[in-house]
Amino acid sequence: QNDDHFYIGKLPAGIVTAISYASTRGVDKEEGAVQRILNPRRITSIKEYILKVGHLPSAIVLNWTKENISERNGKLAFSKQEKSAQLIDGQHRIAGLRAAINENPALEHLEVPVSIYIKLSTKKCADIFLSINTEQKPVPRSLVYDLYGIADENVIDQAAARARDIATALNEDDDSPYRELIKFPGSPVRKGGIALSTAVAALKPLVEDKGDLEQRGIVELEMQKKLIINWFKVLQRHYGESWFETSNAFMYASGFSGAINFLKTKLLTACQDKKSFTETTMSSFFKFDKADLILQEEVKGKGGREAPVEIEQRLMGFFVPSDKKDDQFEI
């Protein structure tokens, strides 16, 4: 391709992990050093994925640097030596494979696709690295979260999948203030509404393992989604017929995220003290001024982090929690 040639084939995981290595930009001085520093958390995640699922269909891209390789009649032969080939793409997969093999030695026989270049310059390695990591864009997060609804449970992020289930309820339940307003992949383009990725990102901290809801014993999906719908119904009642207008800040990402953050940081504690997460109890903590609606124009032009904080602060202006604590628990 474009005057450069490479070989495509497959190698056992035990071989490719033994002969490959990462040459880090700014650390290693050798030719072909273009890699970033390894991320330990990503290695652990990949290791767990390999142990549970084990699909690695994308090729590991190598730059062979030693003299221990030869080609004859379209076939490659090499001796197994450490640090024979630099990793141009796939260093985290290789590190994850090594860690997985340590736990399950049988994985060294797993066949992995590889693309092998021989003695590329640093410039050529940089060209390939950049083409992979800049031109090949990741898929939209909303599509990822939507696919969690059909993918194998070993592949998915369980907290994100639960958040997606709640977003689905917000979009489909008859009593939801966001009925048909959560934008799933394929939804018609329109002004306002909440992208699925926004909803999942906001809801995930509430429902993850040892998250805010689990800490309060609220772990069932039905209870979690009812609690969240209760909160948005309180806001919807304040807005009345103006709820669905495009001027309503809660019809946009900043309003949705700000409301969920407020629920997480303030409202859950107040409800916990009352042992009640009902719509009526939540409503009792607020003194809304009917003429004072939180409008999108108030946060228009503000940054992605600044706007939700502004929404939270505005909600605090209506928040009057009770000091009385109750013993009974209800949702």
Q: How far apart are CA 51 and CA 48, in angstroms?
A: 5
CB 328 within 8 A of CB 275: yes
CB 97 within 8 A of CB 107: yes
Who contacts 279 (Cβ-Cβ below 8 Å, separation ≥6)? 230, 231, 233, 234
Q: For 94-134, how does the pLDDT look when each residue is reduced to its tens digit (9 = 90+)?
A: 999 999 999 999 999 999 999 999 998 888 888 888 777 77
Q: How far apart are CA 83 and CA 194, in angstroms?
A: 49
Q: How far apart are CA 129 and CA 91, in angstroms?
A: 12
Task: Read off the pTM.
Answer: 0.68
Number of neighbouring beta carbons within 10 Å of residue 45 = 14
Q: How far apart are CA 159 and CA 105, in angstroms?
A: 30
Residue with tokens 């590991």: 60
Helix ranges (H only) for the chain are: 13-19, 40-52, 91-103, 122-130, 141-147, 158-172, 196-207, 212-215, 221-239, 253-262, 268-274, 279-284, 306-316
Who contacts 209 (Cβ-Cβ below 8 Å, separation ≥6)? 158, 159
Residue with tokens 């706007």: 307
Name the pairing type of β-strands 60-64 and 85-89.
Answer: antiparallel
Question: Could you list the pLDDT tens digit for every one of the 331 residues in the chain?
Answer: 878 889 999 999 999 999 999 887 777 777 777 777 778 888 998 999 899 888 899 999 999 999 999 988 878 899 999 999 999 999 899 999 999 999 999 999 999 999 999 998 888 888 888 777 776 666 777 777 788 777 777 677 889 999 999 999 999 999 999 999 999 988 777 777 899 999 999 999 999 999 999 999 999 999 999 999 999 999 999 999 999 999 999 999 999 999 999 999 999 999 999 999 999 999 999 999 888 999 999 998 887 789 999 999 999 999 998 766 666 667 7
CB 277 within 8 A of CB 330: yes
Q: For 126-136, how does the pLDDT look when each residue is reduced to its tens digit (9 = 90+)?
A: 888 877 777 66
